[in-house]
Structure 1
């Protein structure tokens, strides 16, 4: 169980101590693991709103009102790993597997570029279906064809040599969620051959190579405790990822955890706000899983908790159905006018402005190009063009 006292009455002394820890993070101080543990164990629901406000103030001081929009392409659901929580795990024989052909992938990227996207996220299950040399060549071709397009990869654990080849070919961001920084908890979520040490070593290598590197974790996953979550917050404080992917645990009927309860939205929002304060310059997505947990207001509440990135799924509808990491995935028609109108409404309510430029981390050496006027109506009108 996480956030042990979240929905329980907390005395004023305890609340003041927790708030003092939040203010110390906001001031740029580093907390110890024990302090994170106290914060998570005693954080009361009534401190969520003021913590969210601090997160928004911090985000605006760094990124202004900009909300970066990315194009997501789920290039394959073939996976050799067997994570106990994931719907595309290798042992799931009920899922129909697919993989993009390079020509199809190039066409999808061309359409995205024509719509104005300047960051493309290529995500897949972890496998060797795509030969490393062929994928490296494809990345090089893409970056030469569209020099101002940033390629983000989310392909799982690879060797350092492969990561280096991707980087040399022009890929500049890599997402690899660590899922849990608590070794005991990590082992409860994965088979023995998958270890936390190997995961963290990959993250270390990605940073050393020069990628804008994304880590992240689930909130409310089976066996997660406040101690586990304290490890996650402590890890992102130490590692300082350029991107932080956080979302609720959502069960899938074809996994060993099918009967486990989903994560709690307000716990997720608390983690978004804390992550923004712990890693102020991070690119922090409002994840699809969060919108799936609460289709009506999940994305808006994430933006109000410090998030500054959203992803639009550009994969064909039939493939989106098969890239099912969890049940009841939200917004399967991401390019529809209806969906884009929902984004526009949330952006306006959050007081943010959509932008389609690269949206790099502030430490990245290549500055963002000047962005055109990108009020929500202008940007979404462009996205809606066929």
Structure 2
């Protein structure tokens, strides 16, 4: 019988039963899995780590996701919304440092209408004409995505969070639906955004069979970017007492995703670094090729708390770029400041 790792490398996919076996027996496959994902990463990216400037534009959100620290019903959050002037000032700062990709992330804040976002996007392109703009601002209508794309947005991150409908319902209030989330991702793909999806690892109620559904959903969607990170509880949420997700399982899944999507952009997330001092390095060693230093003003960094103990100082900050480059160089990797577009290969 063909080894499951060999089969995954060959076909970039497995049956649900095979994926489940792979997840249920990590100790049996991890060594070979990591070896293969490292080989694939080296083939497509060498030792390059693409850097994106992360700008957290608002912690105001109309949604009430049970796991999220900036959920609508959390009255203990110090709310903020960045002005256009602050956003452009932050972009100018990052552009001067050499950044070529800017990620505008925020809660689903109704203030940011198409008109306001189009104005911001066009002004960012004036500051840095050859840059890439990534939006991560949630579910919108098709025409909204279309308008933003036509104004200059290049990429869109929208984590699906859970591809199992049963699990999605346990993590979100009734007014939110997995079908609508999937519809939004479908719109983004149709509009030719470089599209990012992803999920939490170790979310409350999550089982390996749910993670299998995530892997199969991503295979069908075929996104250009995939962001995963361990679930981390937040003290003002429904799940404040739940245990955090596993760093080891997150690393294992990153390795699987690198084999499934050889040329996709996979970030080494802040959540990984928050739970483990060497979590980000471990993620990079098995296939992550993107790192997003924070270019937000201090008031935003301090209050955009999706989960507890989020890192937002030292290596998370764009101000420390030179130290960051030096640290990555010590472990054999090179920080690359260009756009790092997704490139389709056979």
**Do these two structures clear the TM 0.5 threshold for a shared fold by scoring above it?**
yes
Q: Among residues 128, 134, 156, which one is paired with 1:174 in the alignment?
A: 156
- Alignment map for 1:1-386 (pairs within 5 Å): 20-41=3-24, 43-294=25-276, 296-333=277-314, 334-335=316-317, 341=323, 344-349=326-331, 351-363=332-344
Q: State the alpha-carbon separation in 2 of the partners of residues 111 and 145 from structure 1.
A: 10
Alignment partners' CA distance in 2, 1:56 and 1:360? 20
Partners in 1 of 2:182 and 2:319 — Cα distance?
40
Q: What is the CA distance between 1:338 and its match in structure 2? A: 6.2
- 1:347: how far off? 4.5
Task: Report if the CA contact (8 A) 1:331-1:339 is conserved.
Answer: no
Q: Is the 8 A contact 1:236 1:279 kept in 2?
A: no
Contact 2:140–2:184 (Cα < 8 Å) also in 1: yes
2: CA distance between counterparts of 1:126 and 1:276? 30
Superimposed CA distance per residue, residues 278-297 of structure 1 (whole angstroms, 9 cap, x where no aligned partner) = 11111000000000011x21
Asked if 1 retains the 8 angstrom alpha-carbon contact of 2:234 and 2:307, the reply is yes
What displacement does 1:343 show? 5.8
Shift of 1:23: 1.5
Residue 184 of structure 1: CA displacement? 0.4
- C-alpha contact (below 8 Å) 2:22/2:29 kept by paired residues: no
Residue 141 of structure 1: how far off its partner (Å) = 2.6
Partner of 1:8: none
Q: Distance in 2 between matches of 1:77 and 1:306?
A: 30
TM-score normalised by L of structure 2? 0.95
- 8 Å Cα contact 2:293/2:318 also seen in 1: no
Aligned to 1:93, the other structure's residue is in SS state: coil
Q: Which runs of 5+ in 1 are unaligned?
A: 1-16, 365-386
| Number of residue pairs aligned between Structure 1 and Structure 2 | 344
Instruction: Tell me how far 1:28 sits from its aligned partner.
Output: 2.8
Give the deviation of 1:30 after TM superposition: 2.8
Distance in structure 2 (CA, Å) of the matches to 1:86 and 1:347:
34
String of CA shifts for 1:120-173, please: whole Å, max 9, x gaps: 000000121212211112212322442111000000000010100110001100
Q: Is the 8 A contact 1:150 1:172 kept in 2?
A: yes
Looking at structure 2, the residues matched to 347 and 277 of structure 1 have their Cα atoms a distance apart, in angstroms, of 25
Which segment drifts farther, 108-117 or 47-56? 47-56
Larger relative contact order (C-alpha < 8 A, sep ≥ 6)?
2
Query: Larger C-alpha radius of gyration, 1 or 2?
Result: 1
Q: TM-score, normalised by structure 1?
A: 0.86
Q: CA deviation at 1:63?
A: 1.8
Q: CA deviation at 1:346?
A: 4.0
d(CA) in 1 for partners of 2:141, 2:319: 41
Q: Distance in 2 between matches of 1:62 and 1:174?
A: 22
**What SS does structure 1 have at the residue aligned with 2:196?**
strand
In the TM superposition, residue 214 of structure 1 has moved relative to its aligned partner by 0.1
Mapped to 1, the partners of 2:334 and 2:252 lie a distance apart of: 23
Task: Please list the CA deviations of residues 47-78 of structure 1 after superposition, one character each: whole Å capped at 9, or x if unmatched.
Answer: 32331221111111112221101100000000
